[in-house]
């Protein structure tokens, strides 16, 4: 079930919620940025394809989107690329060269319908210009997010995600310690190398984001909210100190299958 929400007058969030057995709930977001040249940001999983395509089309309304920004090419971000390109014949995919090559191994896109954009380069949307950026943490080399100067929203790809406790669909239901634990769990799963980073360099990158004064952080894996920016930044700053995640072993899986 996709329940679109208008998190800003210029932004629609399109979340799906996926149960991770024994761990919690993972949000998988797509977004529509309602600029003069609208931008779809990511497209969810192939399991949700039909519902996601319908939800994106409805969110765009009478204005056909110009751009499909793929933050990276993991399966939970590109599940609806092909049907959206078919439905919107003038839609172009925004990605990096690495992203284009990786999509070509399983979901090829006509290069004539691609705009390659590297971190630091800009995309003119008519009423605003957005700049591609590499988020502080990522799980794929082609990852790019962006900052929208009008809404001041930061689209951060997987960075700043959280795994919510079962039965929770909003971070507003979590206390500060619970939110930190939810973000730390996600970060330790998605970017386990974070324990090896230079913490001073990570702090510098977080300061650069703080200087942007984002009104909200829109992660692919975090329920959208216009608050808690400082808490999200603090969560990433704490990530290198977290205990590395170790997933379920075969014995646990067997117990799950037996319904224990």
Q: What is the pLDDT of residue 169?
A: 66
Q: Delineate the domains of the chain, giving CATH numbers in brackets.
A: 5-257 (3.60.15.10)
pLDDT at 207: 96
Please state, in angstroms and rounded to a whole number, the distance separating the CA atoms of residues 15 and 29.
4
Helix (H/G/I), strand (E/B), else coil: 32: strand
Which backbone phi and psi does 169 adopt, to 5 degrees?
-115, 5
From first to last of the 260 residues of the chain, give the pLDDT tens digit: 578 999 999 999 999 999 998 899 999 999 999 999 999 999 999 999 999 999 999 999 999 999 999 999 999 999 999 999 999 999 999 999 999 999 999 889 999 999 999 999 999 999 999 999 999 999 999 999 999 999 999 999 999 999 998 777 678 788 889 999 999 999 999 999 999 999 999 999 999 999 999 999 999 999 887 668 999 999 999 999 988 898 889 998 898 888 76
Q: How far apart are CA 156 and CA 177, in angstroms?
A: 22
Tokens at 203, concatenated: 């702090």
Q: Is the pTM of this model over 0.85?
A: yes
CA distance to 33, 69, 221, per residue, from 42 (Å): 11, 6, 11
């Amino acid at each position: 079930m996709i329940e679109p929400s208008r998190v800003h007058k210029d932004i629609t969030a399109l979340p799906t919620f996926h149960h991770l057995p024994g761990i919690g709930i993972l949000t998988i977001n797509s977004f529509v940025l309602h600029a003069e040249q609208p931008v779809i940001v990511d497209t969810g999983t192939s399991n949700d394809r039909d519902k996601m395509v319908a939800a994106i089309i409805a969110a765009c309304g009478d204005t056909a989107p110009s751009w499909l920004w793929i933050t990276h090419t993991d399966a939970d971000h590109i599940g609806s690329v092909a049907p959206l390109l078919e439905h919107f014949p003038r839609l172009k995919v925004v990605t990096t060269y690495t992203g284009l090559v990786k999509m070509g191994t399983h979901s090829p896109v006509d290069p004539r319908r691609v705009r390659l954009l590297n971190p630091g380069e800009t995309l003119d949307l008519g009423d605003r210009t957005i700049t591609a950026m590499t988020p502080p943490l990522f799980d794929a080399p082609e990852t790019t997010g962006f900052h929208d100067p009008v809404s001041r929203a930061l689209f951060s790809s997987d960075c700043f995600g959280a795994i919510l406790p079962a039965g929770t669909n909003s971070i507003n239901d979590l206390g500060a310690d619970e939110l930190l634990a939810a973000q730390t769990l996600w970060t330790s799963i998605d970017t386990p190398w974070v324990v090896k980073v230079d913490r001073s360099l990570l702090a510098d990158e977080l300061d650069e984001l703080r200087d942007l004064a984002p009104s909200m952080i829109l992660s692919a894996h975090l329920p959208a909210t216009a608050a808690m920016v400082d808490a999200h930044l603090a969560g990433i700053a704490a990530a290198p100190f977290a205990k590395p995640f170790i997933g379920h072993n075969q014995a646990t899986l067997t117990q799950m299958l037996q319904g224990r």
